[in-house]
């Protein structure tokens, strides 16, 4: 603290938070994506699903709107997996010991990923049915 102002890594802080700019926020987001990709096997598996799904969606003989729905829906499991990873890291930061609340938090994150995959399957099923049979 200098002159009544708090500093963090050389930056002024307001309410314990460093200043953010569009460029810094983008850098933090990209660092997060890189970190999750490097350290989470399940995220890499979701990325593989994403790439394969995009290739399939783009190659199907369906209208643009259906392709867009299929393509955008592929982001749902990726987002869920990032949230799950954040939950797991936060729990691990608090305790490495077995604790019932820690288990519940991690199970809830896993349920999020499971439901996101179920939602993806429903979206693809309904969209493909509408594109080919209606």
> pLDDT for 35-70, tens place per residue?
999 999 999 999 999 999 999 999 999 999 999 999
Helix or strand holding residue 5 (H, E): none
Q: Tokens representing 45? A: 């598996």
Q: What is the DSSP letter of 16?
A: T
The mean pLDDT of 1-21, rounded to a whole number, is 59
Kindly report the backbone phi and psi dihedral angles of residue 92, in degrees, each rounded to the nearest multiple of 5, phi listed first.
-65, -30
Active site residue 40: no
What residues does each domain of the chain span? 1-39, 41-133
Query: Mean pLDDT, to the nearest integer, of 26-37?
Result: 95
Average model confidence (pLDDT) across the chain: 90
Active-site choice (35, 40, 81, 100): 81
Report the C-alpha gap between 23 and 76 in whole angstroms.
25
pLDDT band at 96 (very low <50, low <70, confident <90, very high): confident
Architecture of domain 41-133: Orthogonal Bundle (1.10)
pTM attached to this predicted model: 0.82
Q: How far apart are the first and last CA of the chain?
A: 67
């Amino acid at each position: 603290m200098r002159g009544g102002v708090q500093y963090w890594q050389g930056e002024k802080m307001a309410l314990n938070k460093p200043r953010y700019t569009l460029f810094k926020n983008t850098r933090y987001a990209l660092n997060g994506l890189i970190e999750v990709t490097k350290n989470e096997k399940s995220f890499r598996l979701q990325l593989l699903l994403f790439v394969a799904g995009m290739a399939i969606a783009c190659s199907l003989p369906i209208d643009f709107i259906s392709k867009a729905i299929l393509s955008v829906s592929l982001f749902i499991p990726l987002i869920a997996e990032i949230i799950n990873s954040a939950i797991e890291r936060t729990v691990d930061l608090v305790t490495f010991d077995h604790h019932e609340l820690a288990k519940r938090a991690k199970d809830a994150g896993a349920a999020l990923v499971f439901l996101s995959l179920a939602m993806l399957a429903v979206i693809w099923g309904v969209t493909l049915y509408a594109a080919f049979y209606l």
